[in-house]
Amino acid sequence: MSTAAPTRWTEAAMHKRVRRRYASERLFRLVGLAAVSISVLFLAFLLYTMAAKGLGGFVHYEAALPIDFTKSDLFLDPATLRGPDAQQNVAAADLEGAISKAAVTAYGPAAAEMFGDGAVSTLTKAIVGNPDMLNGRTTLWLPVGSKIDIAAKDEGDDKAELLVNAARSKHALRRTFNLPFLTSSDSTDPSSAGVWGALKGSFLTIIVTMLLAFPVGVLAAVYLEEFAPRNRWTDAIEVSINNLAAVPSIIFGLLGLAVFLNIMNLPRSAPLVGGLTLALMTMPVIVIAGRNAIKTVPPSIRDAALGVGASKMQVTFHHVLPLALPGIMTGTIIGLARALGETAPLLMIGMRAFIAAPPGGFTQPATVLPVQIFLWSDEVDRGFVEKTSAAIIVLLLFMLLMNGLAIYLRNRFERRW
Amino acid sequence: MSLGIALVAVLILALAAAWLGYARGRRLRTVGRLHSLPVYHGAYAALWAAIPALLLLAAWAPIQSRMVDQAVLSSPEGRALPAFEMQRQSILSEAREIASGEREQGFNPQSSTLAPRIRDAQSRYAVMGGAVALLVAMIAAGLALRRSAPQFRARTGVERWLMIVLLAASLIAILTTLGILLSLMFESLRFFKLYPLGSFLFGTEWSPQTAIRADQAGSSGAFGQVPLLWGTFFIGGIIAMIVAVPLGLMSAIYLTQYAHPRVRAWLKPILEILAGVPTVVYGYFAALTVAPVVRDFGLWLGVTSASSESALAAGSVMGVMIIPFISSMADDSIAAVPQAMRDGSLAMGATKSETIRKVLLPAALPGVIGGVLLAVSRAIGETMIVVMAAGLAANLTANPFASVTTVTVQIVQLLTGDQEFDSAKTLAAFALGLALFLITLLLNLIALHVVRRYREQYE
């Protein structure tokens, strides 16, 4: 500021300058508000896009299909369908052909491919549940194929639109909750693809991660905060923990590939290996959260316990750790939520295979929800666009649930000293 | 599986030792005053019974699997296996799965005949290892129980074991770091035996499409990492930061300096949600919603080469993901500026924004720069957004509408195909991983150093 600048309030230049300064103050404030708003709007737009595209995935259309089993060539004898092999016997029959034939009779020659895999599994269930229907004529509500489903949701091609209109005019089309999406596994046919297999895989993986990362992380935090001597080893441990927390997740995938798969010969694509890999990634997060939680326990608690004769170990495990536990739990849940949404390291250890059955155990091939989303996003079939967004909604709900739990724990149990 | 039985047996033995020790401790209580509570006598015996035996079992498991392989390969069925290493390994792993009951039948008929051999050898060696472990557990428990006496310091013994467990838990972090470094370096060294280090570091061509057979054309492949590094830096270091730094910094300033506390209590968690959304969701959003808009915008600007897999789409979405990270780092550094400096500036008649721009920000700058470096390190290690939105073509271009590829994209590409493990392609992924690890490590160290030095200044 030059010395000649007028500082008397009677001068017009002074007023002008102050006005300018206040204007820039308001502008600055507006820019700040805009920055926050852009972030919030982006989040809202992201969530809105996913919801708009994905909510359709939770409903699907069913069409009424009259089937005359006496005229179909299924060669199924109701008598053989009462034993434990019923499911297999029905699956061996050409249900797809029977459905296609019935569809052509009901809706004309264009309807040969009106129903997909979803209809076959619904029909299988219906026949196993009531074998006697094979002796007569029934009308069943079956889920329509992916193309028809898209057309019924108003964006399909002309041929499918015609079928939809035909079915609508007969009141033979209805919209229901897509239960198979939540109970079935991956499929090549979008109409019968579901998230259950991936959800179960995620669940098993997170259990392994939790069982390994939580105890190790808490014990390491206790050691570093309460017992570690100040020396070079402790420094090395601290540096490596802080560094591990910032290592890109894909590097952990490479580690898992090189060590767990190639050296230790653990099964590929298994939740066990995925859980191990994610545990190494989550452990530093838990250690850091644990140390912060232990730090907040006031020294007076330790002094009091030591004063009445407790050993250092007793002070830590009887008094400090229980008081720090809510904070540690909060950090752990947030770390596990991050592990739940992680994709890249699991791609490295082969959890990207097409797996049509939910995993039966920790060593069976499995996939997880984020990887399933990634795989579906690569599919060419238009029916998968909706499925991908619907799976994203499921994933986001789980993240929300876990973070909500963490916030609840923090508010409910955390103490202010 | 029979090692599992040995494991359960050791644990049961440890429980029995715990009960015996506890009972002994209680009996001793009637004799005289105990140094340690009976519980510690029990825990002392249990720890001695369990830990050495469990360590033995853990060490035995890999030895056993190697010995089983040797026994199986030297059996008549094993010698009938094809000599070709890969084929033999695939039959062996199939047979292993049949033996453990994971599958009924292998693709290869030989695996079914091998399976009973494997099962035999496994149970033989497991009985050996298990018996030794149980013996060790019994001896150790016996010795521990014999030491029980009124003046015996069982608690000190238990605490010594606990201390070892605590130390072991914290050493896992070092082991993980070492594991990362060693496995990456080991595989990278194998890669550099196949491909010269100089061409990897400074080569400007990246086309890893090696042919299956050595006599086919283009069998060598080119592994020059420069275009990948440029793409990584272009997306994560430039485009993402152009989005994230101003937005994150201004968000932090608005939230800490201007916003009403009640508004802040709502807005801050909402910003944090941005950091919690899984990256695969951002990737899908970038590929499906942002990329077409960016391409159309590029075409409208007259960039004819605008690609639907552009650096701009991936980078800008990544930038949004980084906003909360930058914002919270900036928040911390601004909060660390002493109140006296702010008060001094305000008392001189400066407006709030002048105080922020001319006093707070310059004072907080080192912290902010450290935070930005950490954010860059996070952005260049980010995988899913670029895998889904940034494309595969390794271009050395500064055109944000063109398709570029990154280190992480190529790692995923190289390792998710059907390749044998020893080929140059898969090994190249580890060399890229090593490069990525070293770069992020360097950025983190510099950033932490900057942040720490700056903190010391004000403390």
- What is the per-residue DSSP string for A35-53? HHHHHHHHHHHHHHHHHHH
User: How does A66-81 read in b/e, with b if 16+ C-beta sit within 10 Å?
Assistant: ebebeebebebeeeeb
Locus of tokens 């272009």: B234
Judge contact between A133 and A140, C-beta under 8 A.
no
Judge contact between B379 and B318, C-beta under 8 A.
yes
Structure-token pair, residue A298: 């006031």
Check B429 against A313: CB less than 8 A apart.
no
Question: Which residues 197-216 of chain A have a CB within 8 Å of chain B?
Answer: 215-216
Mark out the alpha helices in A55-134 (DSSP H runs).
Answer: 86-92, 95-107, 117-129
Percent of chain A with pLDDT strictly greater than 70: 94
Confidence of residue B62 (pLDDT cuts 50, 70, 90): confident
Confidence of residue A213 (pLDDT cuts 50, 70, 90): very high
Residue A147 in domain:
yes
Q: What is the mean pLDDT of residues B12-30?
A: 89
A342 touches chain B (CB under 8 A): yes
Give the distance from CA B61 to its chain's centroid. 25
* Domain identity same for A106 and A214: no
Structure-token pair, residue A187: 């499929």
* Domain identity same for A156 and A211: no
Residue in chain B closest to A362 (alpha carbons) equals B102
Q: What is the mean pLDDT of residues A315-339?
A: 92
Q: What is the mean pLDDT of residues B55-81?
A: 81
* Domain identity same for A165 and A230: no
Within 8 A of A220 by CB-CB distance, chain B residues are: 166, 169-170, 172-173
Q: Is the pLDDT of residue B210 over 60?
A: no
Domain with CATH 1.10.3720.10 in chain B: 222-458
Smallest CA–CA distance, residue A185 to chain B, in Å, is: 20
Q: What is the mean pLDDT of residues A101-112?
A: 78
**d(C-alpha B267, C-alpha A41), whole Å:** 12
How far from B141 is each of A194, B25, B48, B160, B397, CA to CA, in Å? 52, 15, 6, 16, 69
Structure confidence at residue A106 (pLDDT) = 79
Residue A339 in domain:
yes
Of the candidate ranges A152-166, A264-278, A359-373, B80-94, the one whose mean pLDDT is the lowest: B80-94
For A67, which DSSP code? E
What length is written for chain A? 417
Check A28 against B276: CB less than 8 A apart.
no
Of the candidate ranges A30-44, A160-174, B314-328, B396-410, the one whose mean pLDDT is the lowest: A160-174
Q: What is the mean pLDDT of residues A79-108?
A: 75
Judge contact between A69 and A77, C-beta under 8 A.
no
Structure confidence at residue B432 (pLDDT) = 92
Confidence of residue A281 (pLDDT cuts 50, 70, 90): very high
Structure confidence at residue A346 (pLDDT) = 92
Q: Which of A144, A177, A210 is the last residue of a domain?
A: A177
Structure-token pair, residue A275: 């859980």
Nearest to A190 by CA among A200, A201, A178, A199: A178
* Domain identity same for A116 and A214: no
Residue A257 in domain:
yes
Residue A29 in domain:
no
**d(C-alpha A164, C-alpha A52), whole Å:** 22
Residue in chain A closest to B275 (alpha carbons) equals A338
Amino acid identity for residue B341 in this structure: M
Which tens digit of pLDDT belongs to each residue from A160-207?
777 777 777 777 788 888 888 888 888 888 878 888 989 999 999 999
| Domain containing residue A363: CATH number | 1.10.3720.10
Nearest to A257 by CA among A328, A119, A349: A349
Confidence of residue B408 (pLDDT cuts 50, 70, 90): very high
Check A244 against B184: CB less than 8 A apart.
no
Within 8 A of A371 by CB-CB distance, chain B residues are: 280
A344 touches chain B (CB under 8 A): yes
Q: Which of A123, A145, A177 is the last residue of a domain?
A: A177
* Domain identity same for A131 and A254: no
Q: What is the mean pLDDT of residues A77-99?
A: 73
A65, β-bridge pairs? A140
* Domain identity same for A259 and A394: yes
Residue A182 in domain:
no
**d(C-alpha B233, C-alpha B229), whole Å:** 6
Judge contact between B397 and B231, C-beta under 8 A.
no
Q: Count how many domains chain A has.
A: 2
Domain containing residue A374? 196-413
Q: What is the rounded average pLDDT for all residues in chain A?
A: 86
Q: What is the mean pLDDT of residues B351-373?
A: 91
Structure confidence at residue B279 (pLDDT) = 93
Q: What is the mean pLDDT of residues B417-445?
A: 83
The pTM for the full model equals 0.87
* Domain identity same for A409 and A280: yes
Which of B324, B352, B384 lies closest to A25 in CB terms? B352
Check A49 against B411: CB less than 8 A apart.
no
Nearest to B451 by CA among B272, B323, B326, B329: B329
Residue A36 in domain:
no
Kind of pairing, strands A173-177 and A59-68?
antiparallel
Confidence of residue B422 (pLDDT cuts 50, 70, 90): low
* Domain identity same for A236 and A315: yes
Within 8 A of A36 by CB-CB distance, chain B residues are: 250-251, 254-255, 259, 267, 271
Which tens digit of pLDDT belongs to each residue from A286-308?
999 999 999 999 999 999 999 99
How far from A130 is each of A78, A102, A135, A229, CA to CA, in Å? 9, 19, 11, 72
* Domain identity same for A160 and A258: no
Phi, psi (deg, nearest 5) at residue B240: -60, -40
Residue A283 in domain:
yes
Q: What is B222-458's CATH number?
A: 1.10.3720.10
Structure confidence at residue A317 (pLDDT) = 93
Which tens digit of pLDDT belongs to each residue from B132-170?
888 999 999 888 888 888 888 888 889 999 999 999 999
Q: Is the pLDDT of residue B212 over 60?
A: no
For A115, which DSSP code? B
Phi-psi region of A182 (alpha: psi -120 to 50; beta: other; left: phi over 0): alpha
Percent of chain B with pLDDT strictly greater than 90: 34
Q: Is the pLDDT of residue B18 over 80?
A: yes
Q: What is the rounded average pLDDT for all residues in chain B?
A: 85
Q: Is the pLDDT of residue B244 over 90?
A: yes
Q: Is the pLDDT of residue B73 over 90?
A: no
Structure confidence at residue B217 (pLDDT) = 47
Check B388 against A388: CB less than 8 A apart.
no
Which of A39, A220, A258 lies closest to B173 in CB terms? A220
Which tens digit of pLDDT belongs to each residue from A233-269?
888 898 889 889 889 999 999 999 988 888 887 788 8
Structure-token pair, residue A281: 């990634």
**d(C-alpha B39, C-alpha A322), whole Å:** 20
For A117, which DSSP code? H
Greater model confidence, B422 or A68: A68
Q: HEC string of chain B? A: CHHHHHHHHHHHHHHHHHHHHHHHHHHHHHHCCCCCCHHHHHHHHHHHHHHHHHHHHHHHHHHHHHHHHHHHHHCHHHHCCCCCHHHHHHHHHHHHHHHCCCCCCCCCHHHHHHHHHHHHHHHHHHHHHHHHHHHHHHHHHHHHHHCCCCCCCHHHHHHHHHHHHHHHHHHHHHHHHHHHHHHHHHHHHHHHHHCCHHHHHHCCCEECCCCCCCCCCCCCCEECCHHHHHHHHHHHHHHHHHHHHHHHHHHHHHHHHHCCHHHHHHHHHHHHHHHHCCHHHHHHHHHHHHHHHHHHHHHHHCCCCCCCCCHHHHHHHHHHHHHHHHHHHHHHHHHHCCHHHHHHHHHCCCCHHHHHHHHHHHHHHHHHHHHHHHHHHHHHHCCHHHHHHCCCCCCCCCCCCCCCCCHHHHHHHHHHCCCCCCCHHHHHHHHHHHHHHHHHHHHHHHHHHHHHHHHHHHC
Q: Is the pLDDT of residue A352 over 80?
A: no
Within 8 A of A347 by CB-CB distance, chain B residues are: 412, 415-416
Within 8 A of B99 by CB-CB distance, chain A residues are: none
Structure confidence at residue A285 (pLDDT) = 93
* Domain identity same for A255 and A368: yes
Locus of tokens 């195909």: B417
| Pick among B36, B65, B383, B432 to test the A interface (most A CBs inside 10 A) | B383
Greater model confidence, A311 or B83: A311
Judge contact between B207 and B222, C-beta under 8 A.
yes
Within 8 A of A246 by CB-CB distance, chain B residues are: 374, 377-378, 440, 444
Residue A400 in domain:
yes
* Domain identity same for A209 and A167: no
* Domain identity same for A162 and A235: no
Q: Is the pLDDT of residue A154 over 80?
A: no
Structure-token pair, residue A357: 């059955």
Check B320 against A39: CB less than 8 A apart.
yes
Within 8 A of A283 by CB-CB distance, chain B residues are: 172-173, 176
**d(C-alpha A408, C-alpha A152), whole Å:** 42
